[in-house]
Each structure stands twice: as C-alpha cells, then as structure tokens.
Structure 1
Amino acid sequence: MTQEKNIAFFQKLTAQILRWRWGVLFGVIAVTAFFMAQYSQLKFNGSFEIWFLKDDPAMQRLETFKQTFGNDQFIYILAETDDVFQPETARSLKKLANELEHNVPYLRDLTWIGNAEHISAQGKTVLIEELFKDIPTDPQEMQRRRDKALSEKDFVDRYISRDGKAAGIMLELENFPTEHMVPPPSTQVATAVLKTLAQPEYAGLHLRAVGDPIFETKYNEVAGKETPKFFGLCLLVQAVLLLVFARGGRGIVVPLVIVVLSFLWTLGTIALLGFDLDLMIIGLPVLLICVGIGDSMHAIAEFNGKLHSGLPRRQALLESMGEVGLPCFLTSLTTAIGFFSFSSAPIKPFLQMGLYLPAGVIYAFVLTLLLVPLFYSFGKPHPFLAKRNSPVQERVRNAIDHIGTLATRYPGKTCATFSALMLLGVVGSFYVQVESNPTKFLTKKVELRQDVDFVDARMGGSTGLEIIIDTKQPDGIKQLAVLEGMDRLALEMENNPLVHKSFSLVDVLKKMRRALHNGDKAFYSIPERQQAVPEYMALYEMAGGDQMDKILSFDGSKARINLQTQALGSAETRQLIAQVQKLAQRFFPDNVEVSTTGFVDIAKSLNDNMKSAQASSISLAFCLIALVMMVTLKSVRLGLLSMIPNIMPVFMVLGFLGITGIYMDTILMSVSAMIIGVAVDDTIHFFVHFKREFQRCSNYVDAVTKSLHIVGRPIIFTTLTLSLGFLVLSCSVMTGWIKIGLLSGFAFVWALLADILFAPALLVLLKPLGKEHTTECAPIKASPEQPEAH
C-alpha cells in the first residue's frame, strides 16, 4: 500500500468516526462496561509455583513429592523471650500452640519444644515423651527438662535456641484442595495464623511468622498497595508533562482518558483469558500509560499544527489523522511485538504478559483513532495562530542541529565511540548474575523481609531443600547400605555452612538405638544389624511416634532428607544442589535415584528458566521488529541498520548490571525485550523521515539533518515522558521494580543518544540507500510552535 493510500485509508476511517461520533462514544462506554464486568473473575496469586508451566520438571518433582510425603509448605513461628523455660512463658507457648491447632485450617501437624518427640526407654520399652505435657513449677524439674531439650540435636535451633531464649513452632500442612477457592487455602492458613499471633496476650512473646503461606499472603498485600500507587503517580507525572507541553484542557484530559481506558480494558482481557493477577501486575499501569500515551499526543500535536495553519476543524482532523495513522500503527505494532516476545519465555507470568500487554498497546492505538477525532470534533474553528518557537524550544532545536552536525561531520569517530561502548556492554552482559530468591525482591524496610532475615539469623533456617531417595523397590530404604548412604549424605551436607541441620529416617533410628542402650551417646548411630531396622521402626510406632509417614513412603521404597537452610541466593542454591548430586553418586548404588525438590530446588529451576527466557525474548523481539522495520522501510539494509541503535540500550543496561554486580531478578528479566519494543518507536520516526528526505534530495548529510530537525524535539519529549513515567517505579518497596524504574530511564537516554548520534553517523558512513546524486536538499522551513508528542 502506497503512502497516499495509507493516508486515504485513515482519513476515510476518521470521516466515519466523525459521522457516527455519538455511536462511537456509546460503543466505547459499552466496551468499557463489558470489560469491567469481568473484574469479579480476577484474583491475585502470589505463590512461587505460578512462575512455572505445568510440564516443568521442577513442578513435576514437587507434585511427586506431595503425593508421597504431603505438602512441602510450612509455617515457622519464632518466639523471642527472656527464658523459654520460665513456667509463665511455657504456659503462654502451650496456650498459643493449642489455639493454633484449633484455628488453623489444613493443619497436618504442629510441633514445638513442648510436644516434640523425646525418645527414651525403660528396659526394652520405648517411651516417647512430651516435655511440656504439664508445666512444672519446681525449678529443678524445669531445669531437668531444659537439659533434655538442649541435649537433643533435632530440637536445638529448630524448636529451641542454644541459649534457651527463643522457641520455634513448626506448622506442617495438608495438601491443599486442587479446586479454585476464594480466598485460596494458603491465604486462609496465613490469615488464621496471623490473627492468632496478633492477640494482645501474646505480645510479650515477640512473635514472627515465616513460610510459604505467610510469604504469599503478605506479598499479595504489598502488590495490592503498589499497583494503585503507581497508577496514581504515573498519571500525575504524565498530567504534569501534558500541562507543560500540551495546549488546552483537552490536550491533558484526552490522552489520560485513553491510557486509563486501555488499562481498564487490559484488566478485563486478563480476566477473559482466565489468567491470575501476579507480581507483574504492579508495573502494568506504568507500562501502558507511558507507552500508550504517545499515539494520542502525536495525533493531537499534528491536529493543532493543522488547525493553526488555518484549516477548518474537520479538515484538520482528517489530514492529521491521515498523516499520523500509519506511523502510530507501526510504533504500536513494534511495541506490541516487543511485549509479545515474552510469550517465548518458559515462565508462566511472562508468557501471559506476552498476550495481554500487546492487547493493551493495541487498545491504546484503537482508542486514539476513536477518541481524538471524537473529542476534538467539538468547538469553533480557530483562527490562524502561528507562533514563533519559545526561546527554550529554539535552544533545544539548535542543540539538535549541532548534534546532527557533529554526527555527520565525524561519522567515523562517532561510530567508533558508540561501537566501543556497545562492545563494553556486550562483554559486561556475560557477567550478569541472575537471582531467584524472592526474599531479596523486597527492600529491607519491609516487615516481611525483616522477619525472614531475623529468623535466619536467630534459628538459621526459614526455608529448605528436600532430597528424595528412591530405591525403586518395596522396603528398599530399610537396607543398611541405603541407610548408611543417607547418613553419610546428611552428615556431609550439614558440614556445608549453607545447611543448618537435616532430618530423616536415619535420625529416628539413631535416637531409637541410643534410647535402647540407656541413652548412651556412643550408640547414636544407625543399627549395625539389618534385622534391627524393622524392629526399631516397629517399636517406635508402638510407642506412639508419628513422624514415619512424613519421612518414609508407604511401601518403604522412598525416603526424604530435609535440609533446613536459610534463604539462599541463586549461586548458593546452585552450589548446594550440585553438592547433593555429586555426593549421591558416591554414597548410593547405581539403582538408587536421588533427586531434589522443595523451595530451594524450585528457586534453582526458576533461575535456569530466567536465563533461557532472557535470551529467547530478546531474540524473538529483535527478529520480529527487524522484519517490521525492513518491510516498513522497504529496504533490508536500512531495516537491519535501524536495529543497531535499538539493541544498543539493551546491551548498555545488561553491561551495567554485569559490571556493577547488580543482579537480575524475575521482574527485571522483562526489561530487555521491553526496551527494544519501546525504543524502536522513535527510531521508526527518524528512519521514515530520513528515507523520505533522502528520496527527495539523495544527500545523506542533508537528509539526516532535516530529519533530526523535524523529529528531534519529539524524540526528546518521548524520552522525557518515558523516563519520568518509569521513574515512579523507583518508589516501590520491591527491588525489581526499583531497578526497572531507574534502569529504564538509563536505557531510554542511551536510546535517545543512539537515535540522534549513532544512527545518523551510521547512515552517513555506510550509505545503505546507495550513492548520492545531489549535494543539497531544500532549506528547512521554520515550523510554528506546537506541542510535540512522539
């Protein structure tokens, strides 16, 4: 389709909109009402599992674990007191434990120092005691129980601190129902726990709760506060910018109405697609407002220019929408493609973003086509009001002209400088560290982060890794060779400073053997005779022990080793799992399969997925946008060359991360493809104008200079709009969004420099459209003042 046909198409479309403007307005209202009616289906899911697809191996391992041993999720409550073994404190803890058992749904087991299994024996009779079945008042008896508690390896730093001043309460949970529930089971559990802990009578215990349900629920609360905050802040920033640069009240209201409606429509689309809201919803308002506002501002600026050149209002609308229709469509298309590239990621929230974010961008474009003509069709025709540019605008335009002169006069040096910087960014990108520990996604001023850090420091383990030993045969775990392998593996892992302690069937057998040998610590080891293993297990269960079904499968073919760890970083997680696999090869025969699951394993798998997602999304965005650029510019060479200034800001950001050691997390992973999709908008305007000017005069220097003179101010304004809009994310309490807010501005500045310096120098140096035929274009005419948008 030729340029004339493109203009005619958008003019005809605008004419029909003007003809049926009241019907268009009613239609927009009706569509908005339809989308808003879907909001009842929206629900927030902050669980860690949503970051995985159903067929992800990590999720399959976790599901197998749940079917065999039950829910891996738990809640750990830490009480900080002067002395746990004071009668009053012990009574408060016991009352709290009883209330939690009564109040918390889906509770499988609750263990604290008062009811933890202390195994002893009288002759051949095994006794399993609860230390605080009654609360003694006699100091000597309380001291005896203190000594018992602190002598148990499994109790110390799990249920009781070494100094006896802190106590832990472990809540293990049943498998949650698979059907949809509101609120979800994890939220029900966390709410019941937090409500119980908040009672005034327990204030003296200084309680803190951590664990998956607590983390998910409080994360949801944070997201619920962050999303409207950013929505309001971003609208405020854009309103101030419009107030400064736009003309008239409609120049402020119409763009804001368009982006707000596009956001509302996108939320409805998320509901229609059956997606849950997740952590990424926090940035949705900023993304859509900053990216979607450009089309309407560009259209309004063009209309004002036409109107103030003396055209009647209707004719000004037809001509302006005809001229901006295709450029706005192309910028929306490339931005949508940048977001669509997320759909290649093996991470569920990003895959879903790759569907609803492009829809939001297209909604903003469609609403621009509909609402700008509609709202600006009202009013009396303006007289000719051509104005001279303000001194500030003149200085900006002169600065752009000087920059263009610099780039075209020294193209070799300019290209060499930018190429060196880009190469530095490429090298730095190889050193980017990926972080998938969700605790580090929160700043230290957030109470949830403080609680996790405190529990890790005080008791050493707010999370864990599950090691699954699968012998593939009934009662295979009971073989001494397998038990010896489990024992050696657990002891080796406990020597790792990242591991706080371990627990498995081996620990139960060791305590049974010690008890049956009069408590002699020398016998704290696995049985020496094969036939003793089933005997000890039978005696344990006859005495009332209830841990066996949590650590051994029903048929005895599988067992678990639970490693208690603190919240680990991605590098530490990878190191820990690698050590498990290496030791497993040493300690077990080939027919025994050893695998890992649980929170630490899932974090490591997410880390791997993030690395592949980053590469796939950048590659897909680059290829698709390059194809659009080649088709738009009708030149393979020019289209490929236009991608160089688009990819440069990506490498500058990645290089900066690698050089400074700032880690990339699940939120920040979205920044690369987003930068390409957004930065290409200004590149399109520059290269389209350049080709048009070159076809007119066939002179690279003059075509570049004229193009910069025309699009320079809009490009600067776009950079300002995007940078300030994204900057509001730096007010977040989540480190990922803070980094996106700051690094996006950093990237857009580099995109600006690449468009007004690197790209002109490349065009003059490489001459992608062939040889020049003339030496000079027609002189540049002064243009009347009008608000710039894109």
Structure 2
Amino acid sequence: MQSLAKILISARWPLAAMGLLVLMVCYPISQRLTMDRRVSSLFSQTDPTLVDYQSFKSAFGGNEIILVVYRDDELATTEGMDRSRIFSQQIRQLPGVAAVLSPAILNDAVKLLNPISLFKADSSVPALIRDDDPVADGLDEIFSGYTHSADHTRAAVVVMLQSFDEATTESHHAVADRLNALTETWQQNHPVSEISLVGEPVLIHDAHTLIQRDGAQLALWTVSLLSLVVLISLWDLRFVALTGLCIVWSVVATRAAMVGLGISLSLIASILTAIVTVIAVASILHLGVRFRRMRWRGHTISESVDRSLTGLLKPILWTCLTDAAGFAALLASGILPVRQFGVMIAVSALAVLLSIALFAPALMSIQGFGFRETSHRGRTRVARRLRRICFFVANRFVAHRVGVMLGSACFALLAIVLVARSETETSFLKNFRSSSRIVIDYSRVETDLGGAGVWDVVLDAPAELTPEYIDQVLALEQALREIDVDGATISKAISAADAVEVLGRSRALSLLPVPVRLAGMRDRLPAFINALISEPDLDGRRQFRIMLRSKEALPAEQKRMLIQRVNETVLQHVARWNDSAQSTESGSYVTGYYVIMARLVEQLIRDQWRCFAASIVLIWILMLMATRSVRYATAALLPNLLPVFVVLAFTASLGEKTNMGAAMIAAVSVGLSIDGSVHFLAGYRRRRVHGHSPETSASHAAAEIGVPVLLATIALVVGFSVLSTSEFVPTATFGTLVAATMATGTLINLTLLPATVSWWDQGDGTS
C-alpha cells in the first residue's frame, strides 16, 4: 500500500479536481431518482403473492379504496342521510375518484329497487332503515360494517380511486391529501365528529411520509453529531471538511448510480445518508487519529499524510469492502426493496472508499487548519488515558481468554434460543405509534365497523350466474364466518350473491331470474357490483369476489392460522363444487392487502437468516483475502456474530416482537461491527511480524484502535438513537438496534476479539 499511497499523494490535486467534476456530473442525474410508493414494489414480479394480487387488481379494475368514516348520531334520520349524500357528492367530484358508495347511495338504491315499500312506511324514516322492508333490511345487514355501523351511529363513504391505467400512485396520495382537507371542513361545518381515513393508500402514504421525514432528520443529526465529534476529537477543520465532502460525494454518486441501474427509492431507502455517514466517519476518524499522532511525534504534514495513508489504506479498503459485503448479502432476500437497499448501500460503501482516495490526500495536505497546541496536548492526555484503559481491559480478557470464550459461547447459545422463540409482528398497523392518527383511525374502524383487515376470496364463475352457483357461494360465506382461531374470526363475508339473495326476499323480485336481479343491482349500484364480478373473458368465465373483514391487530400466529384456515375452507368448497360439476373445473385464491402485508413480514423474517448466512460467508471470504489466514479470518468473524444475537435476544426477553426494522439487522450488523476488527487485525499482525507474543500483540492492538473506535461509536449511537423517536416503529426499531449492535460490537472488539485471536493464533505470525 506504500506505493499506492505515494501515487495518491503525488496526484492529490488532479484527483480532487476529478472528484469535484464527477460530483458536478452526478448531481443532476441524482435528482432524477424517484420514490416508488406502490405495494407491488415490495415484491419480486414473479412472487406468487404478488401475482395473485395483481390478477385480482386486473380482474376487478385495479381500484384502490379509501374509507372515510365519521360519527353521525342522526344517521338514521332524513337529515343524516342528506349529510351522507352531500359528503358523497363532494368526494365524488374530487380529481382521482372513480366512484363512491355510502349510506345515502344505498338508501336511494332501496327506493328504486323496491318502490312499493315507500307507500307502506313512515316517510320520515330513511328507506334503508325501515324494518318492514325485507330488501332494505337485507341491504342494511349486508353493508353493516362497510358503509355504516350496526347501530347506525357511524357512517362511511367507500371511495374507489381511479385505476393505475388512469392515475399514478402519486395521484392516489394526492387524493388522500384532498380528503384530509375536505374532512377538516366537514367537522367544522357539520354536526359530525371522529372523522377517520383508512385504507391501503392512506397507510402507504403515511408510512412513506414518516420515513422520508425520519430519513431527513437522521441525516441531519448524524452528519451534525459526527462532524462535531470529528472536530472535537481531532480539532482539525481539514477532517471536518473531508467528512462533509466524502458524505456528499458518496450520497450523490450512489443516487446517480441507482438512476443508472433503474432502482427507485423504497420504504427503507431513506436512511442512505445516515449509513454513508457511519461508514465514512469510522474510516476518517482512524485516519485523523493516526495523522494527529504522527504530527505529535514531530513529523511534518507531508510525512504525516504519507505515514497515515500508508498504514491505513489497506484497513480502510477492507472495512469498506466488508461493509459492502454485509449489505450485498441482502440480495439473498425475496423482497425486492430489501435487495435494492442492499445494492444501494453496497455501492455507497464503495463510493466512500473512492471518495477518501480522491479527497483525503489533498485535504490532509492543506496547511494551517489546526488549532492551538495547548488544547491539543489536553486531548492527547485524554487519548492516552483511554488507550491505557483499553489496554488494561483487553489484557485482562486475554489473560483469561479460555474462560471468556467458554462464557461467551454459553451466552451465545442462550441468546440464540431466545431469538428463536421471538414472535413476529405481522400487523402493518403496529408499525405506527399507538398515539399516531392512523392508529387511532384504524382502532375506531376495528371497534365500530368489525375490523380494519380487508381481504378477498376470488372464485371462478360461469358467464351467467345460476341459482345453484349463488347457493354455493352463500354456503362458502357461511363456512368462512364460522371459522374461529382462538377468537380470531371473519367478521364479515359478503359478495354479489348476498345482493341477489336479498332481492329474492321481495315477493315481486323473487320471481325474477338471477341474471335479471343482478342487472337491477348493477343498474342501481354499478360501482359495487362491478367491483365484485368481473367481465367475462374469452372463454366466457368470470371472476367472482367475496369481500372479507377481520381484525387487523391480531398476533402473528393467529393471523397466519386465520389466513391458512380461510385458504383451506375455500379449497375444500371449490373441490366439492368441481366433484359435482359437469363443466370446466373452477379455481380460487385468497388475496388482498391483509394477506400480502402479513406475508411480507413473514418473508422478511425468513430472509433475515438467509441474508445473515450470506453475509457471514461473504465477509469471511473477504477477511480471508485480507489476512491470508483461515485462523485470523475465523477468529475475527466469530466474535462479531455475537452482537446481533445479544441485541435481538434482549429485545425478545422484553416481549418485543420482530418487525420489519428488526428483520434487516442480522445481515447488516456483521458488516458494521467488523470494521473495528479489521483495524485490530492490522495492528495485531504488524506486531506479530515484529516478533511480539500473541498476548502482547492483542492487548496493544486493542489499545491502538480503542480511541477512534470509541469516539465513532459514541457519535453513531447518539446519531442512530435519534430514530427511536420516529412515529414509524420499524424505523425506530432499526435505529435503536443499530445503535445497540454497534455499541455491543465495539465492546466485543475491545474485549472478546483480542481474547479469541490470541487464543486461536498458534503460529509464529511471521508469515
């Protein structure tokens, strides 16, 4: 590395100029990077879950739905229905809205479907609420839990947004913003209260808004705190400038590379700046501490730059490569944004390495940016004390290394058992704080409308529906309602079959065949019927939809079992239909937002250990290449597997469930925590080459890396801890666990790592 360092130093100004030129070229490209807010962006295009979901969207128009729920104690009066009608009309006029369904629209449909009943009842009572009308009573029962509550004190406007062919995802979120503004006006000008907005677009919109805000906040705090730490610890503006320039260059270059690779930003991509800061500052602090030590020993600036780069280029190279490998291991995930996130951070780690090579020689060579030597002496005394403490602690652990390693192994086994017993959080709603508006809104829907979990059963149907088919669907719906998984049930199961059955309760309408009754419903409620029955395909087959409702906030195992029981029940009924049918066999599938989000988190949990294994293999190979020793590579890697298990075991022991934020920690943590190990091994091997014993080499190497590692860890822990206040729980979890993992990793690098390496090193170390 000495020759490379000399090349970088001799060409420092052309390299810096080239770096600035690249920055200017990449910046406009980086601004073209977009955010992909679609749910489909969370899955691979070949994922069966996504294939079913997209088939469902294609068959039924692709309309996203937002539910506007409000309290109106006068809903069961003509005044309440008039308000519902006004609200429905105002929402329908909003750009991006395809159709609406509300109590007022149902009320008008009852009048048209069964006009004779109007002459039999008190005209002051809305047609939908009349007990003496079997059609009204049936529709009231069907839509209870969708457009209104059973006690008629809650009303809902079901808002169907334009399909993806007519509007982009961004416009869906614009509709959500307009609805928010409109509902605020309602509450001020009408006797309604507790207005809530729920639905997939609202959840995704709020999640992205919170994550983008958190990403900006994390970037600001992390960059500010770490720049302050660099300034205080090194007291040199050159390294503050180097830190800022490396971060900006790496982020811009990474974003430009993502544009070139066709990768969009996703839910987890907003922490790019923070991760880049972590990688950059860790390396720059090592450079700064080495540079300061050389200056304190009397070397000139040019000599200090030469010695610092010569000694640290190789460790910095391997730390950036191991960081890249840890994140590249996320490519083993089945979740598309996770894979893209892994590529993004791997590229950013390489960008940090390149930025240091471009700018460090030039900035470190600038004269006159240091501060007074009196304060420098004080910091040197503090640094010496820290090194002595690190030496003493490492020496004690090295002296008792066998007992330390046995104790660590037992502790690791206990941690693995605790992690294996941890539960998974599958409710996307639990990704928000209990005090956030979205949780409050969904809780109202859970309580008043029978559950916020919305999903669907899709069945094959003949081109012309028959009474026998309607009876089969009604029997399936009843079987679905009877499912009970330790209290978790299907609170609602409705379809067009229910509408046909309700019309049959009228003496006059019961004489009409099923297709005619269905045509009447389609004429009165086109948005509802079209959302439940698809148009016939080329073979004359239709898709028939059963809308399900269940509780969203269910434990992971209950939710998994409920989805499984629904699948089993549907398959059993379809199998019986096929056995008795003389025509083409029918198919079915269960899908919907409720299902795909539950499977998303399950996939993340399964993937984390596959990614963890991939990161272990990749990092071990890199460590083997760096050290050219199986013993050193293995001895350095094994202690760094402990932090993730310790942190996850601790959270599991507190009863915390594994969410999306915790699911990525395993693979990422190894790459981040092993940075200190790379620098430790560089110092350790240097001393072994000079003939020192394993024990002495390990203790002194730990003391040498102690100051920069401790300084970087303190700043990074504080920086990532800022995320713990996020309203988006996975972001808060990720920040907290990264902070805890890095703190644990630093402790292990200064204690267990010296003990392990010195025990494992049985050679003379001179090769």
TM-score, normalised to structure 2, is 0.89
Residue 309 of structure 1: how far off its partner (Å): 2.5
Aligned pairs (5 A) from 1:514-529: 514-516=505-507
Partner of 1:524: none
Is structure 2 residue 570 aligned with structure 1 residue 580?
Answer: no
Assess, with a 3 A threshold, how the Cα gap between structure 1 residues 94 and 291 changes in structure 2: closer, same or farther.
same
CA contact 2:334–2:603 (8 Å) conserved in 1: yes
Q: 2:708 aligns with which of 698, 709, 714?
A: 714
Runs of 4+ in 1 over 6 A off after TM superposition: 117-121, 381-386, 542-546
For the Cα contact (< 8 Å) 1:106–1:175, is it kept in 2?
no
Structure-to-structure mapping, 1:602-617, within 5 angstroms: 602-617=596-611
Please give the secondary structure, in 2, of the residue aligned with 1:328.
Answer: helix
1:236 aligns with 2:219: no
Q: Are 2:300 and 1:312 equivalent residues in the alignment?
A: yes
Contact (CA 8 Å) 2:454, 2:549: kept in 1 or not?
yes
Describe the shift of the 1:203–1:620 C-alpha distance in structure 2 as closer, same or farther (beyond 3 A). farther
Task: Give 2:724's aligned amino acid.
Answer: S
- SS in structure 2 opposite 1:278? coil
Q: Amino acid of the residue matched to residue 589 of structure 1?
A: A
Pair 1:286-2:279 in alignment: no
- Check conservation: 1:263, 1:288, Cα contact below 8 A: yes
For 1:189, which of 171, 175, 200 is the aligned residue?
175
1:181-240 CA deviation, whole Å, 9 max, x = no partner? 5x7332243234334323355564232211122223333332332222222111221133
Cα distance change on mapping 1:726 and 1:274 into 2, 3 Å: same
Residue 593 in structure 1 maps to residue 587 in structure 2 = yes
Contact 1:488 1:587 in 2 (8 A): no
Aligned-pair CA distance for 1:63: 1.5
- TM-superposed deviation, 1:611: 2.6
Give 1:364's aligned residue: 352
Task: State the match for 1:523 in structure 2.
Answer: none
User: In the alignment, does 2:540 pair up with 1:558?
Assistant: no
Query: Helix, strand or coil: the match of 1:169?
Result: strand
Contact 2:397 2:404 in 1 (8 A): yes
Correspondent of 1:32 among 23, 43, 60 = 23
Alignment of 1:141 onto 2:124: yes
Change (3 A) 1:546 1:410: closer
Pairing 1:768–2:761 present: yes
> AA paired with 1:550?
A
Whole-Å separation in 1 of the counterparts to 2:303 and 2:166: 60
Q: Work out whether residues 632 and 761 of structure 2, in 8 Å CA contact, stay in contact via their aligned partners in 1.
A: yes
Deviation of 1:279 (Å): 1.8
**Which of 691-700 and 510-519 deviates more?**
510-519
Q: Report the equivalent of 2:581.
A: none
Residue-by-residue CA offset, 1:143-200 (whole Å, 9 max, x unaligned): 7753456762113232222332211111223421288x5x733224323433432335
- Which of the residues 397, 400, 408 maps onto 1:418? 408
CA drift at 1:117: 6.4
Residue 212 (structure 1) aligns with: 200
2:452 to 429, 453, 462: 462
Aligned with 1:199: secondary structure? helix
Take 2:620 and 2:569, find their aligned partners in 1: how far apart are those partners?
48
Q: 1:533: how far off?
A: 4.5
Alignment correspondent of 1:643: 637
Match of 1:10 in 2: 5
User: For residues 453 and 74 of structure 2, what CA distance do their matches in structure 1 show?
Assistant: 25
Give the direction of change, closer, same or farther, for the CA distance of 1:544–1:13 in structure 2 (3 Å limit): closer
Alpha-carbon offset, residue 242 of structure 1: 2.1
Looking at structure 2, the residues matched to 389 and 542 of structure 1 have their Cα atoms a distance apart, in angstroms, of 82
Identity of aligned residues (%): 17
Q: For the residues of structure 2 that align with 1:406 and 1:140, how far apart are their CA atoms? A: 90
Pairwise CA distance, 1:402: 2.2
Report SS of the residue matched to 1:515.
coil
What is the RMSD of the two structures over their aligned residues, measured on CA atoms?
3.3
- Cα distance, 1:698 vs structure 2: 5.4
User: Which amino acid is 1:679 matched to?
Assistant: S
* Code of the aligned partner of 1:26: A
- Out of 188, 191, 209, the residue aligned to residue 221 of structure 1 is 209
The residue aligned with 2:419 is 429
> What's the CA shift for 1:47?
3.1
Q: Give the superposition deviation at 1:731.
A: 2.6
Q: Partner letter of residue 510 of structure 1?
A: E
In structure 2, the CA distance between the partners of 1:474 and 1:610, relative to structure 1 (3 Å rule), is: farther
Q: Is the 1:730–1:738 contact (alpha carbons within 8 Å) kept by the matching residues of 2?
A: yes
- Take 1:605 and 1:27, find their aligned partners in 2: how far apart are those partners? 47
Question: Is this contact kept in 2: 1:337–1:358, CA < 8 A?
Answer: yes
Contact 2:9 2:362 in 1 (8 A): no
In the alignment, the residues of structure 2 paired with residue 724 and residue 33 of structure 1 have an alpha-carbon distance, to the nearest angstrom, of 32
The corresponding residue for 2:433 is 443
Deviation at 1:97, TM superposition (A): 0.7
> CA distance change for structure 1 residues 389 and 559 in 2, over 3 Å: closer, same or farther?
closer
State whether structure 2 residue 154 is matched by structure 1 residue 166. yes
Given the superposition, is the C-alpha separation of residues 156 and 754 from structure 1 closer, same or farther in structure 2, using an over 3 Å criterion?
A: same
Kindly indicate whether the alpha-carbon contact (under 8 Å) linking 2:238 and 2:366 is maintained by their aligned counterparts in 1: no
How many angstroms does 1:118 deviate by? Answer: 7.8
Q: Is the 8 A contact 2:81 2:126 kept in 1?
A: no
In 2, are the aligned partners of 1:255 and 1:297 still within 8 Å (CA)?
A: no
Match of 1:74 among 46, 65, 68: 65
Partner of 1:175: 163
Offset, 1:37: 0.5
Match for 2:530 among 549, 552, 556? 549
Matched AA of 2:52: R
- Is 1:729–2:723 an aligned residue pair? yes
Deviations 1:455-485 (A, max 9, x none): 2222233341111123689758953673354
Paired residue secondary structure (1:551)? coil
Q: 1:541 to 1:705 in 2, by over 3 A?
A: closer
Secondary structure in structure 2 of the residue aligned to 1:710: helix
> What's the offset of the Cα at 1:423?
0.9
How far 1:648 sits from its partner (Å)? 0.8
Cα 1:402–1:129 change in 2 (3 A) is farther
Counterpart in 2 of 1:127?
113
- Measured after TM superposition, the shift of residue 241 of structure 1 is 1.6
User: What is the CA–CA distance in structure 2 between the aligned matches of 1:413 and 1:697, rounded to whole Å?
Assistant: 26
Q: Which residue of 1 aligns with 2:311?
A: 323
3-state DSSP of counterpart to 1:697? coil
Report what 1:694 is aligned to.
688
CA distance in structure 1 between the partners assigned to 2:380 and 2:180 by the alignment:
60
Retained in 2: the 8 A contact 1:334–1:628?
Answer: yes
Which one of 55, 62, 68 corresponds to residue 53 of structure 2? 62
Offset at 1:690? 1.8
Q: Tell me the residue number matched to 2:184.
A: 198
Where does residue 399 of structure 1 map in the other structure? 389
Residue identity in the other structure for 2:566: V
1:617-628 maps to which residues of 2 (within 5 A)?
617-628=611-622
Instruction: Note the residue ranges of structure 1 that are not aligned, 5 or more in a row.
Output: 1-5, 520-526, 774-790
**1:80 is matched by which residue type in structure 2?**
R
Q: Which amino acid aligns with 1:735?
A: V
Calculate the TM-score normalised by the size of structure 1.
0.86
CA offsets, 1:603-632, max 9 Å, x none?
Answer: 132133213321221111110100111121
Gapped regions of structure 2 (runs ≥ 5): 579-585
Q: Distance between the aligned counterparts of 2:300 and 2:385, measured in 1?
A: 32
Q: Give 1:276 shift.
A: 2.2
Amino acid in structure 2 at the alignment position of 1:434: T
